[in-house]
Each structure stands twice: as structure tokens, then as C-alpha cells.
A and B are shown apart, each in its own frame.
Chain A
Amino acid sequence: MKPTLKKLYAWVDERLELQDLIKFMAKKYVPVHSHSIWYYFGGVSLFLFIIQVVTGILLLMYYKGSEELAFESIQFIMSKVAFGWLIRSLHSWTANLFILTTMIHMFSVFFEKAYRKPRELTWLTGMLMLFLLLGFGFTGYLLPWNELAFFATKVGTEITGVVPIVGKPILQFMRGGDDVTGATLSRLFGFHVAVLPGIFTVLLGAHLLFVNRQGMSEPLHYAETPEKERKTMPFFPNFLLRDMLFWLIVLNVLAILAVFFPWELGTKADPFASAPAGIKPEWYFLFMFQTLKYIPAQIGFIDGEVLGVLVFGAAGFLWMMVPFWDRQSSRGERNRFINYIGLFVVMYIILFTIIGWLA
């Protein structure tokens, strides 16, 4: 390092005790084993979150969240603003990749049973963030105010409306009225850029703090492995540099996607037009959407759609609560049952997403 840089570093170090931080990070160890690859997905998700924040803020500079201007302003960003096409495509592509990586992250944690004691709270905050992410996806999808988004939002909000008692008020709350209108757009815009990011940041802070306090979770079989055979690597610089290498590759993939497959804008939503054929939600909602299609209209005395929504709600809740009912894993015992459930859920989601995609 050059002397001037060294001096500058010393100046900052003197005030902020950077050395201590580096020492702290260097003392953190990341277990090295055959499943280590899954550790990177949390970091990638964090990186994608940063991209979303940056591109999101950039889009805010030109976006106008009103019925008359939303579509036109996106069009404006994509045609008149230098690199606007890139920023907008990046934001859309990253959103999808973000949900994908968090899902991988979540399932890897689930199968490794990394949620077991003492990491119940880490899991809980993570699951809440995943739900928030779906909320981000849902609210952000409408913002360009194009035909597809308009009708997908109409269908999506309608589904919440079937929930007994609370459904109708929730529907009205989300739509800002009885129908999807400009009021819905303003509302979802507010959620997308203010409410959700606020909550998300708090949860993310907690999540990262927990990870830092507790370190990386070690796989169950480590308990039986003698201490000498347990391989590790320092968090700094080894793991962090690898993380960054991964991030670089992801960023490059995103750039390629944005250039070669620019996110389409479609045609402006017309509330009075008839819905185009084959309206589908975003892929991460597809498996639920497809399931609701298969449920018969009436099961016993209960409405099929209501049942579907309730079952999904209950399943989501149970899934989130897994650290509290999977006592076996917390005691360090193997629990094959959890693996079977997880496998079933993964297969189910993949199968129904494919069916929904092809339908």
C-alpha cells in the first residue's frame, strides 16, 4: 500500500478501531463441508437486496405513481433517460432472482435444520422477510400500470377477498376501494417504496445481527465428527472474498439478462377493456394460483377457494413455526420426517409451477 493510503488508513483506524473489527471478523469461522455452497445464498440475497435498493432509488427519480402517468413514466425512463432501460430491466430481473435466491437460501436452511436451537429467531426473521419479499413482488408488479399487471393484481387481490370475515376488509384495504383503480396504484406504490422497505430493513438488521452473534450454523453430523476433522475457513478474508466473487458473477448474469432480455412493458392498462386471455401471476405465485384452480368449487359446506386460501395460510404458518415443533432437531437428533415434508413441499412447488407455466 502506498504511504499516503497507509496514513489515511491509520487516521481512520485511530478513530474507529478498524483493526478490532477486522480481528473480530477474522476470528469468525465458516465451517467447510460438502454443503458449504449453500452458505453463499444468504450473501447473494443480501447483494441483490443492495442492487434493489440502489436501482429502486434511481427509478424513483423519474417514476410517477399515478394512473395517468405511471405507464408513461416507465416508458419515459426506458426511452428518454440515459441507461434508464438498464436500470429498469435490472430492477425487474433482480426482483425475480432475489426471490429465487432467498427461496434456495430458505430451503437449504430447512434441510440443514439450521433453524434449530439457538437460531429460531434467525429463521423467524428470515421467513418474515420472505413473506415481505412476496409482498414486494406483488406491489411492485402493478407499478408499471400495464395490462398484464392490472389484471394479475385484480385476480390476486380477489383471492384475498374470499377469506371469511377479514377477507373483504383486507381486499378493500389493499385496493383502496372496491376495485383496482388509480387509488390501488398509489397505495401499492406507498407500500413498495416506504412501508415494506422500512420493515424489511429492521428485519434484515436483526437477521444479520443474529447471524453475527451466533456464527454460521454447523451441520448436524458435526456433533459426531471429531474436532480435528472439522474444517473451517476464516470469514475474513477467505469467505468474504469468495462471497464477492459470487456477487460479481451474479451481477454479470444480471447485466446479460438486462441487455438480451429487456423486461417488457406491454400495453397500458385499460380498466374498461376485457381481460386478455391467460392472465397469470408472477411465477412465484403460480403454484398457489394453480392449486386454487384445481380445488373444486365446493367441498362439503365450505367454498373451495376459501379452503385453499386457508390451507395455504395454515401451511405457511406451520412452516414458519418449524423450529418450535421440530424438537428432535433442536436436541441434535436426526428427524427424517422433516426431510420428507420438505421434499414434498419442494416437489409440490416445482410441479405446480411447471403446470401453471405450461397451462
Chain B
Amino acid sequence: MSDISDPHVQQDKRDFLKFALVGGTFAWLAAVIYPVLSYLKPPKQAEVVVNSVKAGKIADFANDSGSIIKFGTKPVILIRNPKGEFKAFSAVCTHLECTVQYRKDFGMIWCACHNGKYDLNGRNVSGPPPRPLDEFRVTVQGEEVSISKLS
């Protein structure tokens, strides 16, 4: 049995082993702290948002226009009709999954791929689309327009 009252047994300042131990510990600390700090650094996209997306300010959307908004991994089309009311639908054409767009000249949602047309309620009215577009909910809070899933 031994009794060590002095923890720093080795007094040699040039002791390589101690140097390696301290150096190694610091390197190890760096290897642990670097990922943690990187993790805490705010990512490009500040937070996960999929059930609701901020589309922008009311003023960003002209009457009688449509814009494509990225909603998670799928596009959503936000329509503002000539009266100024908002509607949003999945922008994925129900025919072959092209992205639809708003056509001012028809006053309809139109798919460029095969001339599929939907009315402003998302109903497929002409062309190959087999069923209507899925609707999304639009909420206007003050000046802010946001889109969320209908549930």
C-alpha cells in the first residue's frame, strides 16, 4: 500500500509524457468542443417549419397573380384572385407531377406540361389531370401571409 500525499510526483518540466498527456487532453477537448460549438451555431435555415410557411407580406402579392412557395419538399401555389382574396394549393399537377402556374390570361391554374387546367378552387376543369389539387390553408396575420396544411 502506498500513500501519495503529493499528486504532482513528477517535477521534471521537460517530461515528455506529461506534455503528451496535457497536449492530448487539449486536443481531445478540441475534438469534443468543436462539434458541440458547430452544433450550437444557428444553421442556415433557422428552424424546422413544414406545417406552416411564411409566404411574405400582403403587398408582395399583386391582385390576380400566383406565386410558387416552397413548402417542405413540395411546392405550393399561392393565388391572389382579382378581388384580392388568397387561396393556396399544392402546386404539384395531379397528372404527371409537373409544377403548375397561375395564368392571368385564363384566370386559371395551368400546367405547362400537358395543358392541364384547374379553376381557382383547385378543381381540374380541362386537360389530363385526374383529380383536383390539394388545398392548403392561408392565414393573414396583420401584413404577414402564411400557408399551412389543412387538417
A and B touch in the complex (CB under 8 A): yes
Q: How far is the CB of B42 from chain A (nearest CB, A)?
A: 9
Chain A 47-102 residues near chain B, CB threshold 8 A = 54, 58, 61-62, 64, 68-69, 72-73, 75-76, 80-84, 86-87
Complex Cα distance A244/B117, Å? Answer: 68
Instruction: Name the one of A26, A58, A68, A73 contacting B3, with C-beta atoms under 8 angstroms.
Output: A26
A331: interface (CB < 8 Å): no
* In-complex Cβ contact of A80 among B2, B28, B44 (8 A): B44
Q: Are B35 and A86 in contact (CB under 8 A)?
A: yes
* Interface status of A1 (Cβ within 8 A of chain B): yes
Q: Given A64-B48, A68-B51, A72-B48 in contact, is the A26-B4 Cβ separation under 8 Å?
A: yes
Residue in A72, A81, A84, A234 with the greatest tally of chain B CB atoms within 10 Å: A81
- Distance in Å from the Cβ of A167 to the closest Cβ of chain B? 32
Judging by beta carbons under 8 Å apart, are A76 and B48 in contact?
A: yes
Q: Does B127 lie at the interface of the complex (its beta carbon under 8 Å from any beta carbon of A)?
A: no
Interface size class of B (residues with CB under 8 A): 20 to 34
Are A72 and B47 in contact, with the CB atoms below 8 A?
A: no
Q: CA A61 – CA B41 in complex, angstroms?
A: 11
Is there contact, CB below 8 Å, between A72 and B50? yes
Bound state CA distance, A22 and B5, in angstroms? 8
In the complex the two chains form, is B72's CB within 8 Å of A72's CB? Answer: yes
> Among residues 29 to 56 in chain B, which have CB atoms less than 8 Å away from a CB atom of chain A?
35-36, 38-41, 43-45, 47-48, 50-51
Which residues of A have CB within 8 Å of B5?
Answer: 23, 26
Does B1 count as interface, using CB distance less than 8 angstroms? yes
**How near does chain B come to A233, taking the closest CB pair, in angstroms?**
9
Residue A266 at the chain B interface, CB threshold 8 Å: no
Instruction: Tell me whether A316 is interfacial, beta carbon within 8 Å.
Output: no
Q: For the complex, what is the distance from the CA of A75 to the CA of B48, rounded to whole Å? A: 9
Residue of A nearest to B151 (CB): A68
Does A68 contact B50, Cβ atoms closer than 8 Å? yes
Q: For the complex, what is the distance from the CA of A68 to the CA of B5, rounded to whole Å?
A: 59
Indicate whether A232 reaches chain B with its CB closer than 8 angstroms. Answer: yes
Across-interface contacts of A68 in B (CB, < 8 A):
50-51, 149
B142 within 8 A of A: no
Using known A-B contacts A22-B7, A58-B36, A72-B72, determine if residue A82 contacts B41 with beta carbons closer than 8 Å: yes
Whole-angstrom CA separation of A76 from B51 in the bound complex: 14
A205 at the interface (CB under 8 A from B): no
Instruction: Name the one of B8, B39, B48 contacting A82, with C-beta atoms under 8 angstroms.
Output: B39
Most chain A beta carbons < 10 A, residue from B44, B48, B72: B48
Given A72-B50, A87-B39, are A237 and B7 neighbors across the interface (CB < 8 Å)? yes
Bound CA–CA A285/B38 (angstroms): 35
Is A81 in contact with B72, judged by CB distance below 8 angstroms? no
Report whether B40 and A58 are in contact in the complex, using a CB–CB cutoff of 8 Å.
Answer: yes
Decide if A69 touches B35 in the complex (CB within 8 Å). no
Q: What mask results when residues 289 to 314 of chain A are scored 1 for a CB within 8 Å of chain B, else 0?
A: 00000000000000000000000000
Whole-angstrom distance from the CB of B103 to the nearest CB of chain A?
33
* B 136-147 to A, binary, CB cutoff 8 A, 1 in contact else 0: 000000000000
Complex contacts, B4 vs chain A, CB 8 Å:
26, 234, 237
Complex contacts, B35 vs chain A, CB 8 Å? 82-83, 86-87
Chain A residues near B149 (CB-CB < 8 A): 68
**How far apart sit A62 and B35, CA to CA, in the bound complex (Å)?**
15
A-B contact pairs, 16 of them (CB 8 A): A23-B5, A61-B40, A62-B48, A68-B51, A69-B50, A72-B48, A80-B43, A80-B44, A82-B35, A82-B39, A83-B35, A83-B36, A83-B39, A234-B2, A236-B7, A248-B28
**Known pairs A69-B51, A80-B43, A83-B39. 7 more at Cβ < 8 A?**
A1-B8, A26-B5, A72-B50, A81-B39, A83-B35, A232-B1, A234-B2
